[in-house]
Amino acid sequence: MSTHTNTHPGTDSGDDETVHGTSPGLDPRLGADPYATTPADEAAAGDATVFNASGGDWDDLVDEATALHEERIVVNMGPQHPSTHGVLRLILELDGETVTEARAGIGYLHTGIEKNMEYRTWVQGVTFCTRMDYLTPMFQEAAYCLAIEKLLGITDDIPERASVLRVLMMELTRISSHLVCIGTGGMEMGATTVMTVGFRERERILRIFEMVTGLRMNNAYIRPGGVAQDLPPGAIDALREMVPQLRRGIGELEALVNENPIVKGRMTDVGILSLAGCMALGVTGPILRSTGLPHDLRKSAPYCGYETYDFDVITRTSSDAYGRMRIRLDEMYESLKIVEQCTDRLQATEGSQGAVMVEDKKIAWPAQLALGGDGLGNSLDHIREIMGTSMESLIHHFKLVTEGFRVPPGQAYVAVESAKGELGCHLVSDGGTRPYRAHFRDPSFNNLQAVAAMCEGGQLGDVIVAVASIDPVMGGVDR
């Protein structure tokens, strides 16, 4: 962390960045200073010290501090700090241990994902957006594919089994994200057992992801028109075995944190953000529901058949970090209820192996994916069929994979309820095989605006807890 102390004009602080100048070009490091005064100016105005500071953030702060004639300390927390959930930079102005001003500096993890998607086919875009918020890949994939399907006009043509698989994967992702949030938040407060239990339980979910998609993260499983492949043999049994284990693990977390006096002392009445503040800043997800408002897109604007599932929207009224933690714990139980309902529906149609992709062969990915000894790839039977018996299938396969399908001109916005709040995807098509524009409303980006409202007036140590309760992931913020 770096500090910068400002002093009254006319006093020598010994800071290398402070230059007491009386004429332009006095300091050879800085060159001619157009704002430096001449001896005649000083004679007329008295002592007129010139402050030169490098960096956009510092300029404003130095001017403000000088105008107030007060001593203030500015501390950089991050972007390499272990408690900033990635490369987040927090610029904190302190009066002792009290935070008088807090600003979030972002952009250190900018990947250009949205711009890159303009140079890839619609299907290839899935492999980009899944990498934004790397803790919630399935939500990005779902929002993106739902928006494509809305532009194509095939929303109602998605097979039921594909929608159930999407819901299953999204709810498992919600649990996984919440486990990381609670685990890392506990670690930052010194409760390392909370982290080890949280990551142990998340590992159960990642094993399911690997079984179904071939990958633990960045899955690219949800595709325009459906999903990449059906469940492999043994997946239903693995899900049945995992759910009770996961429920016991969440119970362990509850026993560790819910009534823990140290946890409650650190989190109660910390990072408070009222309903009015949430509405003004566009904050959604557990932060919004901690104010008592039961806003959940799965209920208010259902998608993927969520209206057919039985679950509750969890709310609390404390509006603080502790309430958000309790909401996430309770939401995991509700997600497990949905996972069990998905498993029942998938098992009911397991024998028939129902379709998981739209029937339109001009849109459906032509490959017949299979998990074999060499990993994820085309099944050998499918390769023999398209290469040995059907030249038309081979040509169609080649064109659809390399060129992609065309999407009618227009634009669409689709939002889903991610683990962190409303995740929206706005797509614009010019009628080509690639997006003209792809833009995401990532909940971490909007929720991070609440840093100042949550932290200013509180203690320096409470900044860690407040930021952890927001649960930002910088991959989604910077994109």
pLDDT of residue 145: 93
Query: Residue 337 belongs to what H/E stretch?
Result: helix 321-348
User: Residue 118 pLDDT > 50, yes or no?
Assistant: yes
Based on C-alpha coordinates, what's the Rg of the chain? 27
Task: Evaluate if residue 11 carries a pLDDT over 50.
Answer: no
pLDDT at 377 over 70: no
Output the pLDDT for position 13: 40
CA dihedral 198, 141, 366, 236 (to 10 degrees): 30
pTM: 0.81
- Evaluate if residue 17 carries a pLDDT over 90: no
**Confidence (pLDDT) at 22:** 39
Q: Work out the widest C-alpha separation in the chain, in whole angstroms.
A: 96
Give percent of the chain with pLDDT exceeding 70: 79
The answer on pLDDT for 228 being more than 90 is no
The more confidently predicted of residues 403 and 72 is 403
* Contact present, 434 and 412 (Cβ < 8 Å): no
User: pLDDT tens digits for 395-405?
Assistant: 777 888 888 88
The predicted model gives 207-230 an average pLDDT of 88
Question: Does 139 score more than 90 pLDDT?
Answer: yes
Per residue in 150-202, pLDDT (tens digit) is 999 988 888 888 999 999 999 999 999 999 999 988 888 888 899 999 999 99
The pLDDT of residue 10: 41
Q: Which residue has the tokens 């899944």?
A: 130
Q: Give pLDDT, residue 471.
A: 87
What pLDDT does 352 receive?
Answer: 53
pLDDT exceeds 60 at position 268? yes
As a 3-state breakdown, the chain gives helix, strand, coil percent values, each rounded to 5, of 50, 15, 40
Average pLDDT over residues 96-119: 88
At 353-375, the pLDDT tens digits run 568 888 887 788 655 555 555 55
Instruction: Kindly report the average pLDDT of the chain as a whole number.
Output: 82
What local confidence, expressed as pLDDT, does residue 334 receive? 93
Residues 314-339: what's their mean pLDDT?
Answer: 92
pLDDT reported for residue 24: 41
Structure tokens at 212: 């179904």
Would you say 119 and 404 are in contact if contact means Cβ atoms under 8 Å apart?
no
Q: What is the DSSP letter of 232?
A: P
Among candidate residues 319, 317, 316, 321, the one with its CA nearest the CA of residue 267: 321
| Domains delineated in the chain | 1-66 (no CATH), 113-362+405-478 (1.10.645.10), 364-393 (no CATH)
- Measured CA to CA, the distance from residue 78 to residue 105 in angstroms comes to 9
Most confident of 16-30, 52-66, 166-180: 166-180
Q: Per-residue pLDDT averaged across 414-436, rounded?
A: 92
Per-residue confidence at 34, pLDDT binned at 50, 70, 90? low
Query: How far is the C-alpha of 471 from the C-alpha of 307, rounded, in Å?
Result: 27
Are the C-beta atoms of 5 and 34 separated by less than 8 Å?
no
The mean pLDDT of 94-111, rounded to a whole number, is 87
pLDDT score of 324: 92
Name the residue with higher pLDDT: 40 or 442.
Answer: 442
Section 32-54 average pLDDT:
53
Cis peptide before 472 (omega within 30 of 0): no
Alpha carbon separation from 192 to 63, 156, 393, 401 (Å, rounded): 42, 47, 55, 47
Instruction: Give the pairing type, strands 369-372 and 226-227.
Output: unpaired
pLDDT attached to residue 419: 92
Q: Which of 25-29, 85-89, 319-323 has the lowest mean pLDDT?
A: 25-29
| pLDDT in the model for residue 12 | 42
Q: What is the pLDDT of residue 2?
A: 43
Residue 29: pLDDT above 70? no
Nearest 5 degrees, angle CA 82-CA 88-CA 92? 90
| pLDDT bracket for residue 50 (50, 70, 90) | low
Per-residue tokens: 312: 């509750």
Candidate from 6-20, 246-260, 398-412 with smallest mean pLDDT: 6-20
Instruction: Specify the pLDDT at position 374.
Output: 54
Question: Is residue 19's pLDDT more than 90?
Answer: no
Q: What percent of the chain has pLDDT over 90?
A: 38
Model confidence at 53, pLDDT cuts 50, 70, 90, reads: very low
pLDDT of residue 15 exceeding 50, the answer is no
**Higher local confidence (pLDDT), 53 or 364:** 364
Whole-number pLDDT of residue 133: 87
